[in-house]
Amino acid sequence: MPEISIAATDGSGSFGAYVAMPKTTPAGAVVMIQEIFGVNGTMRTLSDWVAEMGFIAVSPDLFWRQEKGVQLDPDAGQAQWDKAFALMKGMDQDKAVEDLKATVAHARAMQGANGKVATMGYCLGGRLAFMMAARSDADANISYYGVGLEGLLGEAGAIKAPLLVHIAEKDKFVPPEAQAAISSGLKGHAKAVVHIYPGVDHAFGRRGGHAYDARAATIADGRSAALLAAVLG
């Protein structure tokens, strides 16, 4: 069950969020943005890892407008994938960004927070992290294997805070032409950095998952940790 409740800014209700606290505060906060499987064991494990690094981790339930408390397992069969894709297709991503902005504002003011907040998202969350870079006041944003980023490049000019983009070279959801467009579209951007990890597939950073690659994940996570430490303190 989520540890906290956050009010939606459109007055439509409130949504839950899993929170992992560091041993020492005050600390910067990281809004952890879910994959298409909800705030499941993977997102909670990642949030706990962020807390172990010394940051407050807040992972909001972004499917709440369709169904609250979704926790799916990508390694538990096709039915889980079918439901995940249905929820993703049913999501209003603009409203999801508004919910994330509400989460950022909440995280800035949490007890123990130092007021600085980054976002870090995976898969669907990687796309939303890019959208947050362009549309929010988050202090940094990190995208892991975000899908459809090539279609968001028109917003790149609005990015004012550091954006770190991790791409899997063999990502079946992000073909080579999309990777080339993203790299080209962000080349020379003052705030955005793109890294492509050779030989790995989508979700290479999902611990325990079928596509997990320890080498690529460790390198990507190290880059993410360095950015979070530099920006959040």
Kindly list the catalytic residues: 171, 202
Q: From residue 94, give the alpha-carbon distance in Å to each of 99, 136, 202.
A: 9, 12, 24
Per DSSP, the residues of 122-154 read ETHHHHHHHHHHHHS--SEEEEES-SSGGGGGG
Of 110, 116, 123, 164, the residue nearest 138 (C-alpha): 116
Cα atoms found within 13 Å of the Cα of residue 97, Cβ hemisphere only = 17
Q: Are strands 4-7 and 14-20 parallel, antiparallel or unpaired?
A: antiparallel
DSSP 19: E
Give the largest Cα separation in the chain, rounded. 45
- Packing angle, helices 124-135 and 93-109, rounded to 10: 70
